[in-house]
Amino acid sequence: MKKIAVVDGQGGGIGSVIIKKIKETYGERVEVWALGTNAIATSQMLKAGANKGATGPSAICHCAPKVDIIIGPISIIISNAMMGEVTPEIAIAVGSSPAHKLLLPLTQEPISIIGVVKEPLPHLVDLLVNEHLKHFIEPSEGNS
């Protein structure tokens, strides 16, 4: 069973949408960990259906190397993003984790990601779950 960490902060809205879609699509074939930069974000992601939850820099740094996939907005690898909630330690732990990262091109920071077409969150989450995450959860016919 794949372990997927969804990392989010502030109100946990992005993470909640992601978790809800993952659970609707893959059910209990995956274990989803809600890793929030604050308690509100973690709580909202747990309400969305995460199997486990943990809060804060220490928890995120501890869990990041233990999962197969890390999902979240690109802000989770930008030090001091989300109004300072993404500590340098969080950005390093996520970036250094051997887990594959699936990052949505969403940030409040003054950063432009070139070559990316702006899409609304629901479209990005559908693409993430139905196309990119699928390759990790369901083996392709040629590889089975």
Domains identified in the chain, total number = 1
Contact indicator for 60, 90 with CB cutoff of 8 Å = yes
What's the pLDDT tens digit per position in 95-108?
Answer: 999 999 999 998 88
Tell which residue, 114, 109, 43, has the closest CA to residue 78: 109
- Write down the pLDDT at residue 140: 62
Give me the CATH number covering residue 88: 3.40.50.720
> Does 142 score more than 60 pLDDT?
no
Distance between start and end Cα atoms, the chain:
16
Structure tokens at 142: 């040629």
The pLDDT mean for the chain works out to 93
Structure tokens at 88: 């340098």
User: What is the torsional sign of CA 12, 114, 90, 33?
Assistant: positive
Rounded Cα–Cα distance for residues 24 and 69 (Å): 18
Rounded Cα–Cα distance for residues 70 and 35 (Å): 10
Rounded Cα–Cα distance for residues 3 and 97 (Å): 13
**Domain range for residue 90?**
2-143
Task: Record the pTM.
Answer: 0.91
What's the pLDDT tens digit per position in 13-62?
Answer: 999 999 999 999 999 999 999 999 999 999 999 999 999 999 999 999 99
Q: Which helix (H) or strand (E) holds 35?
A: strand 30-36
Nearest-10 Cα torsion for 96, 102, 106, 107: -10
Rounded Cα–Cα distance for residues 75 and 107 (Å): 5
Q: Sorting pLDDT into bands at 50, 70 and 90, what band is 109?
A: confident
